[in-house]
Amino acid sequence: MSRVLVTGGAGFIGSHVAEALLTGGSEVLVLDNLATGSRQKVPDGCDLVVADITDARRTADTVMRFVPEVIVHLAAQTNVENSVAQPGEDANVNILGTLAVLEAMARSGGRKVIFASSSTVYGEPERQPVVETDPIRPISPYGASKAAGEHYVRIVATGRRLQYTILRLGNVFGPRDSLGSRHAVTAFVDALLSGRTPTIEWDGEQTKDYVYVGDVADAVVAAVDRGHNQTFNIASEVGISVNDLYERICAVIGARRLPRHRDRRPGDVRTFVMSCSKARRLLGWSPRTPLLEALTMTVDSMARAHENNHDTVRSAAN
């Protein structure tokens, strides 16, 4: 395979991507500031450089030393609510940080950048399912910064004669997610395992497209050698309401608590399902993990983590 640098590789999605690349035979270096990631998530066989992508000099030094053939750029500010509260910081990380990565890659003589974008770039879609040629009209600062990142990737990569692939990710879930992400699956499972009352924003009837993190990692691996200079939706192609998702998680865990509701989150849309026909055709990728199987693996992983945490607390108390 290739020498690949994964920014954000100590985080939720990044650690799965690094793992999949290693399995495929790539040499992998992780660059992460550990703000939301952790050393424990970095797969065995990967070296870790602790640095922030907004530090352009440190980013450039890391890239020049490793000389990757491909950079998978996952490091980002991903919380929509945080982007509303601090749009400047969101732009600093997601736009200027992306530019630092692109410039470093161009100077190093690498081949390709794979950029993790988001379904939020579409905003309120005109039709379902959403396809890649639909209008880009973000309704949150996070969506705007990801849309800007896409444009910079296209322009800078083309001007520097780099290949690129842009992956617009749906609602990604699975093991190793952090609670700070505010992702629905992670929040629901954690609350139920901890005996707390889960919270559902809005009325819960909003429909979303949830995709398993292992499938996302497979899409990134496919993009290393395919889909050059193209943009792809990466999702499950199946819409499910938040209320239905919650009921399914309760069934997997075997416990149920009546959830509380709160106001709609900024940037949330009523219905959103993505088409992945282009990825199927040009990347040879399609979502393969059924929702029940993916939820079961996520619950099992989080349950083990909860038990390990409780064991640690009990040991410390003895």
Q: Which active-site residues does the annotation give?
A: 142
309: exposed, middle or buried (C-beta count within 10 Å: 0-12, 13-18, 19+)? exposed
293: exposed, middle or buried (C-beta count within 10 Å: 0-12, 13-18, 19+)? exposed
* Residue in 264, 242, 252 with CA at minimum distance from that of residue 198: 242
70-73 vs 47-50, strand pairing mode: unpaired
315: exposed, middle or buried (C-beta count within 10 Å: 0-12, 13-18, 19+)? exposed
Q: Which strand ranges, in their side-by-side order, compose the sheet holding 3-7?
A: 47-50, 27-32, 3-7, 70-73, 112-118, 163-169, 230-234
